[in-house]
Amino acid sequence: MIDPTPLVKKFLLHLPPPSLRDNTAEIDRLKKQLMGFGGLEHLTVPLAEIPRWVSILRKTDYRVTATVSLAAYAPQLIEVEPGDARANLFGLAVDLGTTRIAFQLWDLHQGVLIGEIDRPNPQVCFGPDILTRIQVAENPEGLRELRDGVVEEINRALAFLSGEHSLSSQDIYALTLAGNTTMVHLFLGLDPSTIRREPYIPLINSLDPLSARELGLNLHPLGTVVIFPNVGSYLGGDLISGIGFSRLRDQEALSLLVDVGTNAEVVLGNSQWLVGCAGAAGPALEGGVARMGMAAGNGAIEQVRIDPKTKQLTYKLIGPGPPAGICGSGLIDLVAEMFLADLIDIQGKFNLNIPSERWTRVEDRPAYLLVTAEETLNGRLLVFSQVDLDILLRSKAAMYTILTTLVQSVGFGLSDIERFYIAGAFGNHIDPERAITIGLLPDLPRERFIPLGNASLKGAAELLLDRRRLDEMKTIARTITYLEMNVNQDFMNRFSAARFIPHTDPTLFPSVQRKR
Amino acid sequence: MIDPTPLVKKFLLHLPPPSLRDNTAEIDRLKKQLMGFGGLEHLTVPLAEIPRWVSILRKTDYRVTATVSLAAYAPQLIEVEPGDARANLFGLAVDLGTTRIAFQLWDLHQGVLIGEIDRPNPQVCFGPDILTRIQVAENPEGLRELRDGVVEEINRALAFLSGEHSLSSQDIYALTLAGNTTMVHLFLGLDPSTIRREPYIPLINSLDPLSARELGLNLHPLGTVVIFPNVGSYLGGDLISGIGFSRLRDQEALSLLVDVGTNAEVVLGNSQWLVGCAGAAGPALEGGVARMGMAAGNGAIEQVRIDPKTKQLTYKLIGPGPPAGICGSGLIDLVAEMFLADLIDIQGKFNLNIPSERWTRVEDRPAYLLVTAEETLNGRLLVFSQVDLDILLRSKAAMYTILTTLVQSVGFGLSDIERFYIAGAFGNHIDPERAITIGLLPDLPRERFIPLGNASLKGAAELLLDRRRLDEMKTIARTITYLEMNVNQDFMNRFSAARFIPHTDPTLFPSVQRKR
């Protein structure tokens, strides 16, 4: 197999020096040798760089490294450097989430991941959810601030990652970004207001490759920025990227992919067809619950066990500790274990009749103590309140309702799903067993669940490394039929039923029934 | 036959309005309908214009005119206007000569020429010839001034022509420009200094389409600017344009095209092959002789007759008069007629022994009076001095020497040329009979001479009207073998012989011999 070609590529050139017998112009001489590598017939050269590049050619005796972006329909020459600079070729993959932004820095020469970080989306200070931010963006000043916040955060990540790995951010020649439709609009400074108003029309779905310079990003100024296309107002490029990463389209089997984020985006299909829909699930499943939630990272409680008899609680942290909060998968574990230990009833209320030393009160409401103030990182109690529980249950109910609505709308049942991909920041950590217990995921044979982790980020990284994913990305976007989730009485009835644990209809969750 | 497609094209669109059943994004909706016209699959859309265009879509109930540039490998959306604006589609063709700049404004919707002007190249004040200007450009400040001068002149022409024809310069969406290699470098602000130093290497020959905005040109900011490619330092895009216009490549017969300008550019070939070369001829043949020369235009003497017996002189003007100067074709006529009337001898000296009332002196040197001060436009004498004659004879000798050198270098003789195309600003006016008399053109059967006029300008205009000429333009540039004119002793000997009238070897010009 031929090695995949990254989105940007470097070529070592040694041009024949000019002579009376070969008086090809300097840049044409360079282009001519590049043509020899194939596929570069329509190479474009930016006028403004020509004097600098010609001077490099002449100074180096025509031994240079040329960097070409292969992202657009016509390849573009984006840098000429003295000598052999092929080793310095990096790319950044970005998953631009509503709540968090995740980054991976890749060495595109060697094809290896060299750094990874995850940051809160600074827009959170304007509002936790998409709708609030769209409101902020209705004011041009607000739109600019939202835009600048994300651009600056990406620039901080670029500076941090390149600093940490002792490389020049000028050697980062490509950036791929996947986000939901609103996040992409805000990142580009495009007014997203029609996204939240019927008939929910974005300004643009399919974007041409852009240059880092025009977006104000501090990688190489002519570095290529590729943004995954959106499908609808609530079905974004993050899902397109995740579908690509899952290889869902390579299979005959009926598969479902759910991207669990602040929005729940779901796609169902196989190699023949794809249908998708999306709805707000809230930030709870990403660990975005106000009091003690956090993203999966150092100090996060990711696993909880409660002995049904003694009600004794144990937990597992990510990293060495001390505990700092609880992430999405930890929360699901917590609720599932509390439910199985009778500490939470089927209606989602704390069962205060069951004695436990952990019952406490916060702001005069019942709460469950997870970690005492002495044990935590910041000296504050880690408690789980009825309010937190209500939020989580709304999120899980929304998720389950969206899943069932989509699957039923195309004439299938949940049990027909042969592969169930779970994407999202916490997809790696989620325990399907406990997610089923609380009724977040349907009660399918466990081997059908395939956690993908942050599939949006991973799909973006794949695109950095293999430009053929560009076509796949466009095919996916073109193939998906977007189903507008009609929040009618029927939907609301299903949602209400799904707010129970695991559900008002226990026969939907036979394995959970057997446990109690 | 399908009508040719211009370089930029307008499409009238009436998009289905957004609805819950069709929630395609605004710009994607527009792209989708454009795709229906075919050939626009890879259409790019500039990010910065999206908000404005979407707002036009919404305000006009989705009835708009979209303007697409078809110049680059990927077509580009460059404007969206309310309603039906198809009629407002104009383009400017520019022949950027060393001495003069010629412009044609075309209505690309109707395919008709609507205005034409011709201006001195403002760079002339820095020096009449290419070499002087290259020296000026070695200083970055000088380069900028040379660049700005031409850009401003083009902007003045844009303002003048659009004003004169009551159209908005914003409706000019395309500009094609043909010029010699140095002129193009200066226009783009590229240092041309290596053009005049062995091995004579330009910075770039083949240019990508540019936007008017990046060049500072006041047509539509996203209007497409296409510059004809150069072949060598002394074989420019003006010749490529002229070859295209001549259809030389469509024929089996051996043809020669000479573009008579400040530089003489010559190409020989047929449908199978092309060889070209170039050399300095000086501005004399364009009417650029200091004292009384002018471009072919109102008030220019374009034809001269002298009765060989009475020595009586008559002339014909372009336009109604009064006389303002003499253009290139008038000068050739003048010298030919003076020679046939014995007023100039075979060595190119005034024959003061032949009595004529027109002999006079200027700055203490012999001169020949053409028009008295009372009769001229500006009240100054029109005289032709020995200095003027010497300059003209050097130019014609250079031209003839270049012609013979090229033809002989590929094993042919001048008499093998079956079609002899004469391009250049004065190509329409030149009288081959008299050009042969002075030895500027070879003594071939007269019907072989085909005057093309300003073929460079006409080729540029054809490209505006028919984008398929883009491929032809690239094919020509790729096909030509450029022969560096080696100014050795052999060349100098030929040049000295050609300074005589018509030549030291009269057997080369039998028809001239018969006249005397």
Q: What share of chain A in percent tops pLDDT 70?
A: 96
What's the one-letter identity of residue B285?
A: L
Q: What's chain B's average pLDDT?
A: 92
pLDDT of amino acid A373: 87
Q: Model confidence over B103-121: pLDDT tens digits?
A: 999 999 999 999 999 999 9
Residues of A in contact with B20 (CB under 8 A): 198-200, 484
For residues A249-275, give the mean pLDDT.
90
Neighbours of B15 (CB within 10 A): 19
Neighbours of A250 (CB within 10 A): 10
Neighbours of A326 (CB within 10 A): 30
pLDDT of amino acid A65: 98
Band (pLDDT 50/70/90 cuts) for residue A486 is confident
Closest chain B CA to residue A20:
B199
- Residue B140 pairs in a beta bridge with none
Tokens for A433? Answer: 């067993």
pLDDT tops 80 at residue B294: no
| Residue ranges in A205-326 assigned as alpha helix (H) | 212-215, 237-246
The torsion angles phi and psi of A82, rounded to 5 degrees, stand at -65, 145
Q: Do B51 and A203 touch (CB under 8 A)?
A: yes
pLDDT tops 60 at residue B141: yes
Q: Model confidence over B195-237: pLDDT tens digits?
A: 888 888 999 999 999 999 999 999 999 999 999 999 988 889 9
Judged on CB neighbours under 10 Å (0-12, 13-18, 19+), A341 is: buried
pLDDT of amino acid A284: 59
Residue A110 sits at the vertex; the CA angle it makes with A106 and A116, to the nearest 5 degrees, is 20
Tell me the Cα Rg of chain B.
25
Band (pLDDT 50/70/90 cuts) for residue B362 is confident
Residues of A in contact with B188 (CB under 8 A): 47
C-alpha span between B109 and B112 (Å, rounded): 8
Residues of B in contact with A206 (CB under 8 A): 25, 28, 31
pLDDT of amino acid B487: 72
Of A285-299, B8-22, B429-443, which gets the smallest average pLDDT? A285-299
Tell me the Cα Rg of chain A.
25
Residue ranges of E strands in A218-371: 224-227, 255-260, 263-269, 274-280, 300-306, 313-317, 325-326, 359-362, 365-371
Shortest Cα distance from B74 to chain A (angstroms)?
Answer: 7
C-alpha span between A440 and A424 (Å, rounded): 14
pLDDT tops 90 at residue A160: yes
Shortest Cα distance from B261 to chain A (angstroms)?
Answer: 23
Tokens for A348? Answer: 């989602």
The model carries a pTM of: 0.89
Of A93-97, B54-58, B76-80, B373-377, which gets the smallest average pLDDT? B373-377
Q: Nearest Cβ partner of A204 from B25, B194, B484?
A: B25
Q: Do A44 and B198 touch (CB under 8 A)?
A: no
Residues of A in contact with B191 (CB under 8 A): 51
Shortest Cα distance from A101 to chain B (angstroms)?
Answer: 23
For residues A409-415, give the mean pLDDT.
94
Q: How far apart are the first and last CA of chain B?
A: 53
Q: Model confidence over B152-187: pLDDT tens digits?
A: 999 999 999 999 999 999 999 999 999 999 999 999
Cα distances (angstroms) measured from residue A185 to each of A137, B26, B383: 10, 13, 71
Residue B448 near residue B418 (C-beta atoms within 8 A): yes
pLDDT tops 60 at residue A176: yes
pLDDT tops 90 at residue B129: no
Shortest Cα distance from B231 to chain A (angstroms)?
Answer: 8
Q: Do B72 and A482 touch (CB under 8 A)?
A: no
pLDDT tops 50 at residue A362: yes
Of B85-94, B233-242, B374-383, which gets the smallest average pLDDT? B374-383
Q: Do B205 and A24 touch (CB under 8 A)?
A: yes
User: For every residue of B6-39, which 3-state class applies, written as one string?
Assistant: CCEEEEEEECCCCECCECCCHHHHHHHHHHCCCC
Q: Model confidence over A77-101: pLDDT tens digits?
A: 999 999 999 999 999 999 999 889 9
pLDDT of amino acid A20: 81
The torsion angles phi and psi of A281, rounded to 5 degrees, stand at -110, -15
Band (pLDDT 50/70/90 cuts) for residue A1 is very low
pLDDT of amino acid A282: 61
Looking up tokens 């004809």, which residue turns up? B228
Residue A489 near residue A245 (C-beta atoms within 8 A): no
pLDDT of amino acid A488: 80
Band (pLDDT 50/70/90 cuts) for residue A287 is low
Provide DSSP, B34-102: HHTTSS-TT-B--GGGHHHHHHHHHHTTTEEEEEEE-SSSS-EEEEEEES--TT--EEEEEEE-SSEEE
Residue ranges of E strands in A320-464: 325-326, 359-362, 365-371, 382-385, 419-423, 449-453
